[in-house]
A and B are shown apart, each in its own frame.
Chain A
Amino acid sequence: MARRLTSSKKRYGETLIRLALMACAAVSVVTTVGILFALLEPTVEFFREVSPGEFFTGTDWSPLFNPSSFGVLPLLIGTLSTTLWACLVALPFGLGAAIYMSEYARPRTRRWLKPSLEVLAGIPTVVYGYFALTFVTPLLQDIGLPVEVFNALAAGLVMGVMVLPTVASLSDDAMTAVPMALREGAYGLGASKLQVSTRVVVPAALSGIVASFVLGISRAVGETMIVLIAAGAQPTLTFNPYEAVQTMAAYIAATGIGDVPTGSIEYKTIFAVGATLFAATLVMNMVSIRLVRRYREVYE
Chain B
Amino acid sequence: MSAGRLGLPGLGHAPEGGGRYVGGASRRDRAKGLAFQAVLLFSVVIGFVTLIALLVDVANDGLGKLSWDFISSFPSSLPSRAGIQSPLVGTIMLMVLVALFTVPIGVGAALYLEEYADKNRWYNRAIEINIQNLAAVPSIVYGILGLAFLVRGLELGRVLLAGALTLTLLVLPIVIIASREAIRAVPASIREGALALGATRWQMIRRQVLPAAIPGIATGSILALSRAIGETAPLIMIGAIVFVPFNPTSLDSAFTALPIQIFNWTTRPQEDFKLLAAAAIIVLLALLLTMNAFAIWLRNRYQRRW
Contacts and interface: CB of A to CB of B under 8 A. Distances in A.
Contacts of B294: none
A145 interface: no
Contacts of B288: 122-124
Interface of B: 1, 3, 6-9, 13, 15-23, 25, 29, 32-33, 36-37, 39-44, 46-48, 50-51, 53-54, 57-58, 61, 104-109, 111-113, 115-117, 126-127, 129-134, 136-145, 147-149, 152-153, 169, 172-173, 176, 200-202, 223, 226-227, 230-233, 236-237, 239, 241, 259, 262-263, 266-267, 274, 277-278, 281, 284-285, 288, 292, 296
Nearest to A192: B18
B131 A123 contact: no
B42 A96 contact: yes
Q: Determine which residue in B109, B233, B292 has the highest number of CB atoms from chain A within 10 A of its CB, and name it.
A: B233
A125 B16 contact: no
Contacts of A192: 16-19, 21, 25, 29, 33
Which 6 A-B pairs give the minimum distances between C-beta atoms? A222-B138, A192-B18, A96-B43, A190-B15, A24-B108, A124-B230
Contacts of B226: 122
A231 to B, nearest CB: 13
B141 A28 contact: no
Contact of B6 (A190, A200, A218, A285): A200
A225 B260 CA distance: 10
Interface string A17-38: 1101111111111011011001
Given A35-B137, A191-B9, A277-B138, A24 B109 contact: yes
B40 A130 contact: no
B134 to A, nearest CB: 6
Nearest to A203: B6
Nearest to A166: B136
Given A42-B148, A96-B42, A113-B44, 15 more contacts: A18-B116, A21-B109, A24-B106, A24-B108, A38-B145, A96-B44, A100-B44, A129-B263, A168-B43, A194-B18, A195-B7, A199-B7, A200-B8, A203-B7, A270-B144
A286 B140 contact: no
Contacts of B21: 190, 192
A25 B130 CA distance: 10
A300 B201 CA distance: 29
A3 B92 CA distance: 57
12 contacts: A7-B200, A14-B201, A18-B112, A31-B169, A35-B137, A96-B39, A99-B40, A120-B51, A168-B47, A249-B138, A281-B137, A289-B129
A34 B296 CA distance: 34
B138 A221 contact: yes
Given A31-B169, A123-B285, A218 B136 contact: yes
A299 to B, nearest CB: 12
B8 A199 contact: yes
Contacts, number: 302
A28 B36 contact: no
A25 B109 contact: yes
Given A20-B108, A117-B44, A127-B281, A186 B54 contact: no
A116 B48 contact: yes
Interface of B is mostly: helix
Nearest to B231: A124
A113 to B, nearest CB: 7
Nearest to A94: B43
Nearest to A138: B57
Interface residues of A, number: 104
A29 B230 CA distance: 25
Interface of A: 7, 11, 13-14, 17-18, 20-29, 31-32, 34-35, 38-39, 42, 89, 92-97, 99-101, 104, 113, 115-117, 119-120, 122-131, 133-135, 158, 161, 164-165, 168, 182, 185-187, 189-200, 203-204, 215, 218-219, 221-225, 228-229, 249, 252-253, 256-257, 259, 262, 270-271, 274, 277-278, 281-282, 285-286, 288-289
Contact of B140 (A21, A32, A274): A274
B9 A193 contact: no
B281 A186 contact: no
A187 B3 CA distance: 11
Contacts of B47: 93, 97, 117, 120, 161, 164-165, 168
B148 A185 contact: no
Contact of B149 (A34, A135, A225): A34
A135 B58 CA distance: 9
Nearest to A229: B266
A130 B266 contact: yes
Contact of B262 (A34, A130, A198, A252): A130
Contact of B259 (A119, A124, A274): A124
A159 B37 CA distance: 25
Contact of A187 (B20, B137, B138, B285): B20
